[in-house]
Amino acid sequence: MTRYLLDVENPNLDGYEKAGGYQGLARALSMEPALIIEEVKKSGLRGRGGAGFPTGMKWTFAAGDPKFPKYIICNADEGEPGTFKDKAILEKNPHILIEGMAVAARALKAELGYIYLRGEYPKGKDILQAALKEARGKGYLGENIMGSGMRFDIHVHLGAGAYICGEETALINSLEGKRGQPRLKPPFPVNSGLWGRPTMVNNVETLANLPFIMRAGAAQYVKIGDPGCPGNKLFPVSGHVEKPGLYELPMGTTLREIIYGQAGGIKNGKRLKAVIPGGISAPVLPPDAIDCPMDFVSVQKQGSMLGSGGVMVFDNDTCIVRVAHRALEFFERESCGKCTPCREGTSWLRAILERIETRQGREGDLQLLEDVSRNIAGNTFCPLGDGAASAVLGFLRHFREEFEEHIKNGCPFGPDDHTRTVIAR
């Protein structure tokens, strides 16, 4: 297995250099910017922030815009519930991210970058800041990077608790000191982003793939993972598995291998009931779908999405209505309020799910859930509302009887912590 995202013994600069760190940047510095973009295109790298957009193509757009200065933004807002992969890179191997950003800066001739770090990761901020200082000290950042004459520096911007700021235009507004609401696209950030300048927004994990691509070359990179979607992927696995945690595996590894092969199977000898494959916005899948390879295309064919790759596993004692209700509490709270279908729709969905969970559900509520969801889908300003709607439709598609049962007879499940002994005092 070729690990490369987290594989350092020691997160400081020495440890990273020993593992081949900053050799990718050295190679990038010896190349023309256009050739770096070519190499990234050849690597087939697709963005790890959720949408899977080809990174090289996005770079071409930004490089093609004549305006300067250009900015590199690292999206470290990781707010998708069930996801803790970017955090691991930030805390365990910050230099791989810094090197990746410097490569991007070289390719796009940018001189300034920002890491937009979510407010809930205060520890990450200290680690990043220490790493940035180390990198400046060694000339990997600053006025004359590795003697090449290239200039580039990175600042850390701490968010303050808003899921929507993970959306790239909301993130840019937030970085400008405004309310974190999305902007209308087009113009896209690659043409008009931060302060109206061409801006490349990439996810932490995306950027962390660049040092390897630069060091080993695209030809090596495409041998890993799935031919249509190469590379390794970080899979955060949570919920009812024996060994929850973060797994770095080739793109296209099946859900079955992730849940049973890597994470030790379902906890306490129970059965798998459902799995959310890519963070809370990804529609739930039933057990018979777990032979699905985890890549952008295959998961979509199953009616869900790879999203963040956050695999959330539920055993046969889990109440799906409760899960759905909690998911919608999240979307309702995090809807930025800018557009009505999302603001009102998520609030309706939450209220209906709440009454179903608390045995006040009415006949026709399931139809209502579907109607409201369909009215949200495709009608919102940004994809947050779509995520909420497709999550609800997913729960209904695969677990309709359970919702009906709740409306008729109430919740058949005990408290969630059936695996723990409660010591009440």
Ligand X SMILES: Cc1cc2nc3c(=O)[nH]c(=O)nc-3n(C[C@H](O)[C@H](O)[C@H](O)COP(=O)(O)O)c2cc1C
Any contact of residue 203 with ligand X (CB under 6 A)? yes
Residue pair 297/71 in contact (Cβ under 8 Å)? The answer is: no
Decide if residue 50 touches ligand X (CB under 6 A).
yes
Of 53 and 68, the one with the shorter C-beta distance to ligand X is: 53
Task: State yes or no: residue 157 binds another protein (CB under 8 A).
Answer: yes
Q: Does 322 bind another protein (CB under 8 A)?
A: yes
Query: What is the closest distance, in whole angstroms, from the C-beta atom of residue 100 to ligand X in the complex?
Result: 10
Report the C-alpha gap between 95 and 16 in whole angstroms: 7
Dist. CA 231–CA 251, nearest whole Å: 6
Phi (first) and psi of residue 114, to 5 degrees? -125, 140
Q: Is 47 an interacting residue with respect to ligand X (CB under 6 A)?
A: yes
CA angle in degrees (0–180, nearest 5) for 207-54-159? 45
Residues contacting 294, CB < 8 A, separation 6+: 233, 235, 249, 251, 252, 253, 254, 255, 258, 277, 306, 309
Give the range of 44-52, 101-109, 138-146, 298-306 binding ligand X by CB under 6 A. 44-52
415 binds another protein (CB under 8 A): yes
How far, in Å, CA of 64 to CA of 309, rounded?
31
The interface region with ligand X, picked from 20-28, 48-56, 123-131, 391-399 by CB under 6 A, is 48-56
Confirm or reject binding of residue 309 to ligand X (CB under 6 A). Answer: no
| Site for ligand X contains 79 (CB under 6 A) | yes
* Contact between 295 and ligand X per CB under 6 A: no
Contact set for another protein, span 167-226 (CB under 8 A): 174-181, 195
Q: Which residues pair with 246 in a beta bridge?
A: 236
Is the backbone peptide bond immediately before 187 cis, with ω within 30 degrees of 0? Answer: yes
**The one among 24, 50, 81, 193 contacting another protein by CB under 8 A:** 81
Q: Residue 238 binds what, of ligand X, another protein, none (CB under 5 to 8 Å, by partner type)?
A: another protein
3-state class of 163 per DSSP? helix
Is 35 a residue that touches another protein (CB under 8 A)? no
The verdict on 5 binding ligand X (CB under 6 A) reads: no
In contact, 301 and 287? CB cutoff 8 Å = no
Residue 133 interacting partner from another protein, ligand X, none (CB closer than 5 to 8 Å by kind): none
Backbone angles phi, psi at 174, to 5 degrees: -65, -40
Q: Which residues bind another protein (CB under 8 A)?
A: 78-84, 87, 118-123, 155, 157-163, 174-181, 195, 236-240, 244-246, 276, 280, 310, 312, 314, 318, 322-323, 326-327, 330, 333-334, 336, 415-417, 419-425
